[in-house]
Amino acid sequence: MSAPLPDAGRNWVDARAPEGLKPWLKLGRFDRPIGIWLLLLPGWQGITLVLAADRRLPGLYDLWLFVGFGIGACLMRAAGCAFNDIVDRDIDAQVARTAQRPIPSGRIRVKQAWAFVVGCSLISLLILLTLNLTAILLGVGSLALVAAYPFMKRITWWPQAWLGLTFNWGALMGFAAVSGQVTPAATLLYLGGVFWTLGYDTIYALQDLEDDAMVGVRSTARRLGKDVQRGVAVFYALALGLAAAAGFAAGLAAPFFLVLIAYAAHLAWQARTLRPEDGALALRLFRSNREAGLILLAAIALGGVTSPL
């Protein structure tokens, strides 16, 4: 019987999924849906930024974009995780948190994992082809970021920054899918997301400090060392500032900036609460970024409301 993975906690895959499907669902990280949220929310934020700037409610095509981006985030996150596990299978076998993943544990063979990656990618391509040309080109361009990410931890101390570039690409795609272009407001939203990811993934990397040092894996958590709490605070401050600049550039109304205070408070709470030596706390703080992303999404949506709160 498949046992829960160390960082999965209580989840629907281990509790309810058929035994034969569990390795495949775990390969795609469906037992840890937080990653889907963190990939999806920038796309939804990009879509919503256009609607809020135009002061309009979503039409049928816009609603499809929300649904399509949701399905695409599930599939592309699964494909990306499987690809990452193929590349990292030897490293994962040496790290306590990852040794029981489907590939290093032998429950799924490498050729089978490649088939999984191709299948998820082809379905995602069908969704991508429903978008306009600008969004399609951006989607194709994201493949270079996805393909390079697993190798970043081998060549730079800042793989979390590359993850930020990759995970927040949906902000540009979502904006372009509605408007047909990428404006300064969209770029600022994207850059804010990059620093948000740099912060939360540095927190996530605190779980593996000892194992990463042993096998030679680099991370911002290791690079920052005793200054990691200060570093996360700086990353989050930049994320907040760029998000505010995006709202200003898009001409969002006062409610955006009021709700943005809650986003600032959430990020500040994470940085203040962080304890580098407490891996369990790091995982809880990392997971709380779903709420942080939803707060920013709500702020953008309310930025399209011009009447007083």
Query: pLDDT tens for residues 140-153?
Result: 999 999 999 989 98
Q: Which residue has the tokens 């840890």?
A: 32
Q: Check pLDDT > 70 for residue 263.
A: yes
User: Does residue 64 lie in a domain region?
Assistant: yes
Q: What is the amino acid identity at position 217?
A: V
| Mean pLDDT in residue range 201-227 | 88
User: Does residue 156 lie in a domain region?
Assistant: yes
Q: Check pLDDT > 50 for residue 92.
A: yes
**CATH code, domain with 270:** 1.10.357.140
User: Does residue 3 lie in a domain region?
Assistant: no
| Mean pLDDT in residue range 268-273 | 98
- Please say whether the beta carbons of 112 and 89 come within 8 A: no
User: Does residue 58 lie in a domain region?
Assistant: yes
Report percent pLDDT > 70 for the chain: 96
Cα separations in angstroms, 132 against 11, 30, 129, 136, 181? 36, 29, 8, 6, 10
Non-local (6+) Cβ contacts of 245 within 8 A are 188, 192
Residue spans of alpha helices (H) in the chain? 12-16, 22-27, 34-54, 60-87, 89-92, 110-128, 133-155, 159-167, 169-179, 184-205, 209-215, 220-224, 228-249, 254-273, 279-287, 289-302
| Mean pLDDT in residue range 95-123 | 92
pLDDT at 154: 86
DSSP string, 194-219: HHHHHHHHHHHHGGGHHHHHHHT---
Mean pLDDT of the chain: 93
Q: Which of 76, 170, 61, 84 is nearest to 123 (CA)?
A: 76
Cα 63 to Cα 176: distance, rounded to the nearest angstrom: 15
Cα separations in angstroms, 170 against 24, 38, 77, 178? 25, 10, 12, 12
User: Does residue 5 lie in a domain region?
Assistant: no
Q: How many domains does the chain have?
A: 1
Model confidence at 6, pLDDT cuts 50, 70, 90, reads: low
pLDDT at 94: 84
Query: pLDDT tens for residues 197-211?
Result: 999 999 999 988 877
User: Does residue 129 lie in a domain region?
Assistant: yes
Q: Check pLDDT > 80 for residue 192.
A: yes
pLDDT at 297: 98
Task: Determine the structural domain holding residue 150 and report its residue range.
Answer: 20-302
Cα 175 to Cα 180: distance, rounded to the nearest angstrom: 8
Report percent pLDDT > 90 for the chain: 82
Q: Check pLDDT > 60 for residue 74.
A: yes
Cα 22 to Cα 206: distance, rounded to the nearest angstrom: 27
pLDDT at 93: 85
pLDDT at 80: 93
| Mean pLDDT in residue range 197-226 | 89
Write the burial class of residue 181 (CB in 10 Å: 0-12 exposed, 13-18 middle, 19+ buried): exposed
User: Does residue 10 lie in a domain region?
Assistant: no
| Mean pLDDT in residue range 183-198 | 98
Q: Which of 155, 173, 179, 168 is nearest to 53 (CA)?
A: 179
pTM: 0.92
- Tokens, residue 108: 């799924």
* Other CB atoms within 10 A of residue 292 CB: 24
User: Does residue 309 lie in a domain region?
Assistant: no
pLDDT at 120: 96
Model confidence at 309, pLDDT cuts 50, 70, 90, reads: very low
Cα 263 to Cα 284: distance, rounded to the nearest angstrom: 17
